[in-house]
Structure 1
């Protein structure tokens, strides 16, 4: 388990270094914001396109191998970027293509990580492991931009890219020492799987099964769990509103709340809230984790309302602290609950759908924030967004209650032993 944690920490730091390194490299080379947009989009577009394929692959192959190959691929892409920058080649097309390669690697590696945690970490320890990974990811998001900026100022962006490549290589080395069982069906819940799911998981064992059929089976697993679909859509609304807030918030802070220092205080309060929330998650006496997840997401209504009424900077900072504390609590809880409730043989495909919604929603929110604010005004847009993020996430609690009532009734099920005998 220690290898897994160290590897995920290294990978999180390397991942967080990339945006700042690429931004500074492109701006130093071209000084063109449009060129920067092309390079950043070159990673995002293939990531979104290949995520469903990555989910299928994560369910077919040992997750350790998929994550290892993803880290090695990203290591090579960052090493190639470092060589180009250090040699002074600086071709925009090369940077875009190498970023696209990294995007494909993320698409294949991301769905494999939840399966890797399930394969390596015993059930009672998963929440604590997910919380530790969450802390590493949160701290990396804070430390990495400053680290990449310092290296770029001192030695150039090529050396920042080289450090990123080394970190991915070290992450791959830790994964190389992790041994997991071959991909197979895990029971959902305490040793039990529904009869319908069991029949599908047994039936999908053929290596000749098509990607299309696997995708359909993954979608069927989602449809059988209305609570999951409702939660994912609510989280998509959360990410969209986060894009709006992170675009309109700094403009409002600079113009109305006292300048750039006010926005930095707001951002740092959110960072502190996020880290504290992740630390608190495994220590809180939570009896209904999914309800807590959705309440945590609904807390984003607070900074949206603060933005709408142009609340003073301390009030906005406090609202953002609470919202990000909610995110910190919900993230490890969500990872753990989904791993417990979704059959392992379908976990990669189910989580790839979850990640697809999340990865796509925030950039979309960033892109449309300014045009929407120009049409409706910041106040109306932020108030509407606050209502939507609260309603979408609180409404997801209803399918959870129905699902719990349905599970209370006896359902034909099979144990692991019966599943093997079939």
Structure 2
């Protein structure tokens, strides 16, 4: 008789919905990471300037900031998986049109900006709906480990997607990378459409969206640990974005020998996030926010390293360590939200988190150049580092941040059922997903992939 083959078995907590959500996030992460590279080169290929590249990037960010609160309110009214699928469909269409224009040589900068704005609109509705989804599929003490595994897969997809996207842009041009991204959105949406939501109760919003948003704001304002970290990351994300997108490339060009060292530094950061995710699969700190916020302190190091500037090997080590620590925060932050926020208000709270994380980023990147001209680049970078340190130390002074602890969770939901595709059925059952909202230091930590 033929002996039975050894089968690779999933962990007991990785059920069907968790597997579908993780696979969808990895697929869309691969496509989106490559598309970030392709989009810039597509603008340059039609004769666009660096300013045009920035305008197209801003065109994606502005609708994300404008619509994210509405997206959160709708996600608390409608089935979240349907909102996610609809957003994926919009992103698929916008990226598909973008690819067609580039491949046919008819693209214009204003058209690219318009399509980028459609993509940002899709993300504005997707992101609040996605928050809470992954951990909602896992019950009991494995929720932190499950989210860490999810983050590891998404971060790994981001690293791989960036590398493959750059290679494909060089070999075949940006249009094909954008086409691959459109297909990735279609596949991700299809996977999410197969989620089992039979046991998810129906949703009913308040009298109107404005009332829903006010209720979500009250939920945020009533928790000092929550609003203090959202305010912290509004500034932290902004200064980190300025350092990474404006100052970092300039320092690399003038002091480190060109763009390659900066590319290696960003790759080192990505590898660090993967290792940080693996660490959090083994470690479940009891004081969630204290450990998480301490993990934000190393975010001051990259700006300081660029201000010196340190040699490339030291910069790589700094970026790697920062990636590890940021991922510790990301998992701790989402675990705290999942534990403390009522399910029926989760998306609205998430939308305020997203708004705080993104609102100042365009401002910071726009004023980075004038600030450098006024005080000099080293002083500007030291200022970025000082702001990160000052705000993080201030948040550590908030008693609730130091005291909030991980509570043990029951193995099953309130009626003996495991949660399915939405956040948990009550405030003590699981919720989740991140992502990534700026590369690595996302919205108050973890940012969801579209």
Tell whether the structures are fold-level matches, with TM greater than 0.5: yes
Which residue matches 2:237?
A: 239
- Measured after TM superposition, the shift of residue 222 of structure 1 is 0.4
Which residue matches 1:412?
A: none
Which residue matches 2:90?
A: 73
Matched positions, count:
392
Which residue matches 1:109?
A: 126
Asked whether 1:146 is paired with 2:171, we answer: no
Cα distance change of structure 1 residues 262 and 10 upon mapping to structure 2, 3 Å threshold: closer
Cα distance change of structure 1 residues 150 and 306 upon mapping to structure 2, 3 Å threshold: closer
The match for 1:220 among 218, 221, 225 is 218
- Measured after TM superposition, the shift of residue 335 of structure 1 is 1.4
Cα distance change of structure 1 residues 110 and 385 upon mapping to structure 2, 3 Å threshold: same
Which residue matches 1:294?
A: 293
CA contact (8 A) 2:135 2:147 kept: no
Task: Spell out, residue by residue over 1:72-102, the C-alpha distance to the aligned partner (whole angstroms, 9 max, x if none).
Answer: 1111111222222233321333322222211
Q: Which one has a larger percent helix, Structure 1 or Structure 2?
A: 1
Counterparts of 2:241 and 2:401, CA distance in 1: 32
Counterparts of 2:354 and 2:344, CA distance in 1: 17
Asked whether 1:316 is paired with 2:333, we answer: no
- Measured after TM superposition, the shift of residue 69 of structure 1 is 0.9
- Measured after TM superposition, the shift of residue 208 of structure 1 is 5.8
- Measured after TM superposition, the shift of residue 206 of structure 1 is 5.6
> Which stretch shifts more, 250-259 or 316-325?
250-259
Task: Spell out, residue by residue over 1:80-134, the C-alpha distance to the aligned partner (whole angstroms, 9 max, x if none).
Answer: 2222223332133332222221111100000011232244232533322322232
CA contact (8 A) 2:268 2:319 kept: yes
> Which stretch shifts more, 214-223 or 90-99?
90-99
Which residue matches 2:38?
A: 21
> Which stretch shifts more, 360-369 or 333-342?
360-369
Cα distance change of structure 1 residues 82 and 288 upon mapping to structure 2, 3 Å threshold: same
Task: Spell out, residue by residue over 1:353-395, the C-alpha distance to the aligned partner (whole angstroms, 9 max, x if none).
Answer: 1112222344433322222122122333222322221221232
Which residue matches 2:344?
A: 345
Asked whether 1:130 is paired with 2:147, we answer: yes
Consecutive unaligned residues of structure 1, counting only runs of 5 or more, are: 185-204, 409-414
CA contact (8 A) 1:62 1:183 kept: no
Counterparts of 1:331 and 1:281, CA distance in 2: 10
**TM-score, structure 1 normalization:** 0.85
**TM-score, structure 2 normalization:** 0.80
Which residue matches 1:172?
A: 189
Stretches (4+) displaced over 6 A? 405-408
> SS in structure 2 opposite 1:234?
helix
Which residue matches 1:52?
A: 69
Cα distance change of structure 1 residues 183 and 263 upon mapping to structure 2, 3 Å threshold: same
- Measured after TM superposition, the shift of residue 142 of structure 1 is 2.3
- Measured after TM superposition, the shift of residue 285 of structure 1 is 4.7
Cα distance change of structure 1 residues 231 and 123 upon mapping to structure 2, 3 Å threshold: farther
Counterparts of 1:226 and 1:38, CA distance in 2: 36
Which residue matches 1:189?
A: none
Counterparts of 1:147 and 1:124, CA distance in 2: 36
Cα distance change of structure 1 residues 97 and 307 upon mapping to structure 2, 3 Å threshold: closer
Counterparts of 2:267 and 2:405, CA distance in 1: 43
CA contact (8 A) 1:243 1:369 kept: no
- Measured after TM superposition, the shift of residue 329 of structure 1 is 1.3
> SS in structure 2 opposite 1:294?
helix
Counterparts of 1:92 and 1:344, CA distance in 2: 42
> SS in structure 2 opposite 1:178?
coil
> Which stretch shifts more, 40-49 or 86-95?
86-95
> Which stretch shifts more, 278-287 or 249-258?
249-258
Cα distance change of structure 1 residues 89 and 382 upon mapping to structure 2, 3 Å threshold: closer
Counterparts of 1:335 and 1:87, CA distance in 2: 43
Counterparts of 1:250 and 1:407, CA distance in 2: 40
CA contact (8 A) 1:227 1:397 kept: no
Root-mean-square deviation (CA, aligned residues, Å) is 2.7
> SS in structure 1 opposite 2:295?
helix
